[in-house]
Amino acid sequence: MEKIYNKLVRDKIPEIIISNGEEPIFTVLSDYEYKKELELKLMEEYNEVINSSGADRLEELADMIEIIKALANTQGKTLNDVIYIADKKALERGGFNNKIYLKKVLKK
Protein backbone atom coordinates (compact mmCIF):
# COMPACT_ATOMS: atom_id res chain seq x y z
CA MET A 1 0.00 0.00 0.00
CA GLU A 2 1.22 3.52 -0.73
CA LYS A 3 0.42 6.95 0.66
CA ILE A 4 0.98 9.99 -1.57
CA TYR A 5 2.44 13.12 0.06
CA ASN A 6 3.89 15.33 -2.70
CA LYS A 7 5.28 17.90 -0.28
CA LEU A 8 8.53 19.19 1.15
CA VAL A 9 9.59 17.30 4.28
CA ARG A 10 12.35 17.63 6.85
CA ASP A 11 15.77 16.24 5.93
CA LYS A 12 15.65 13.16 8.17
CA ILE A 13 12.19 11.99 7.12
CA PRO A 14 13.50 9.49 4.50
CA GLU A 15 15.74 7.90 7.18
CA ILE A 16 12.82 7.68 9.59
CA ILE A 17 10.65 6.04 6.91
CA ILE A 18 13.39 3.48 6.19
CA SER A 19 13.80 2.75 9.91
CA ASN A 20 10.06 1.98 9.97
CA GLY A 21 10.61 -0.70 7.31
CA GLU A 22 9.09 1.36 4.49
CA GLU A 23 10.57 2.74 1.28
CA PRO A 24 10.50 6.50 0.64
CA ILE A 25 10.25 7.65 -2.97
CA PHE A 26 11.58 11.21 -3.21
CA THR A 27 13.51 13.67 -5.35
CA VAL A 28 15.81 16.58 -4.61
CA LEU A 29 14.33 19.87 -5.77
CA SER A 30 15.97 22.59 -7.85
CA ASP A 31 16.58 25.91 -6.09
CA TYR A 32 13.49 27.40 -7.75
CA GLU A 33 11.28 24.41 -6.83
CA TYR A 34 12.68 24.42 -3.29
CA LYS A 35 11.79 28.09 -2.75
CA LYS A 36 8.26 27.53 -4.08
CA GLU A 37 7.77 24.46 -1.87
CA LEU A 38 9.05 26.39 1.17
CA GLU A 39 6.45 29.06 0.46
CA LEU A 40 3.72 26.40 0.28
CA LYS A 41 5.05 24.81 3.47
CA LEU A 42 4.89 28.19 5.22
CA MET A 43 1.21 28.44 4.35
CA GLU A 44 0.64 24.86 5.57
CA GLU A 45 2.36 25.63 8.86
CA TYR A 46 0.42 28.90 9.19
CA ASN A 47 -2.86 26.98 8.95
CA GLU A 48 -1.62 24.48 11.52
CA VAL A 49 -0.72 27.35 13.91
CA ILE A 50 -4.17 28.90 13.49
CA ASN A 51 -5.88 25.57 14.19
CA SER A 52 -3.79 24.60 17.22
CA SER A 53 -3.51 25.67 20.85
CA GLY A 54 -1.37 25.15 23.93
CA ALA A 55 1.78 23.07 23.51
CA ASP A 56 0.67 22.06 20.01
CA ARG A 57 0.68 25.72 18.98
CA LEU A 58 4.26 26.10 20.20
CA GLU A 59 5.26 23.06 18.13
CA GLU A 60 3.63 24.59 15.04
CA LEU A 61 5.27 27.97 15.68
CA ALA A 62 8.62 26.15 15.92
CA ASP A 63 7.88 24.55 12.53
CA MET A 64 7.19 28.02 11.09
CA ILE A 65 10.54 29.24 12.41
CA GLU A 66 12.28 26.32 10.70
CA ILE A 67 10.64 27.29 7.40
CA ILE A 68 11.57 30.96 7.93
CA LYS A 69 15.17 29.90 8.56
CA ALA A 70 15.20 27.95 5.30
CA LEU A 71 13.60 30.82 3.35
CA ALA A 72 16.15 33.26 4.75
CA ASN A 73 18.88 30.86 3.67
CA THR A 74 17.58 30.96 0.08
CA GLN A 75 18.38 34.70 0.25
CA GLY A 76 21.85 34.09 1.66
CA LYS A 77 20.68 35.24 5.11
CA THR A 78 20.13 33.65 8.52
CA LEU A 79 17.38 33.66 11.11
CA ASN A 80 19.53 36.14 13.06
CA ASP A 81 19.38 38.50 10.06
CA VAL A 82 15.57 38.21 10.07
CA ILE A 83 15.42 38.81 13.82
CA TYR A 84 17.72 41.84 13.49
CA ILE A 85 15.37 43.37 10.91
CA ALA A 86 12.33 42.54 13.08
CA ASP A 87 13.97 44.17 16.11
CA LYS A 88 14.89 47.26 14.07
CA LYS A 89 11.28 47.58 12.83
CA ALA A 90 10.02 47.17 16.40
CA LEU A 91 12.26 50.02 17.55
CA GLU A 92 11.13 52.27 14.68
CA ARG A 93 7.42 51.38 14.49
CA GLY A 94 6.74 49.38 17.64
CA GLY A 95 5.71 45.78 18.10
CA PHE A 96 2.25 44.33 18.64
CA ASN A 97 2.29 44.17 22.44
CA ASN A 98 -0.24 46.96 23.07
CA LYS A 99 -3.02 45.19 21.15
CA ILE A 100 -3.81 48.32 19.10
CA TYR A 101 -6.54 47.75 16.49
CA LEU A 102 -6.73 50.74 14.13
CA LYS A 103 -10.29 51.30 12.96
CA LYS A 104 -9.79 54.31 10.68
CA VAL A 105 -7.94 57.58 10.18
CA LEU A 106 -9.82 60.85 9.81
CA LYS A 107 -8.47 63.51 7.44
CA LYS A 108 -7.97 66.96 8.99
Rounded-to-integer distance, Cα 85 and Cα 42, Å: 19
Rounded-to-integer distance, Cα 3 and Cα 51, Å: 24
Q: What is the pLDDT of residue 8?
A: 97
Rounded-to-integer distance, Cα 79 and Cα 85, Å: 10
Rounded-to-integer distance, Cα 8 and Cα 86, Å: 26
Q: What global pTM score does this model have?
A: 0.88
Rounded-to-integer distance, Cα 75 and Cα 24, Å: 29
Strand locations in the chain (E): none
For the residues 84-107, what does the mean pLDDT come to? 97
Over residues 25-38, the pLDDT tens digits come to 999 999 999 999 99
Over residues 46-59, the pLDDT tens digits come to 999 999 999 999 99
For the residues 2-26, what does the mean pLDDT come to? 96
Burial of 67 (0-12, 13-18, 19+ CB in 10 A): buried
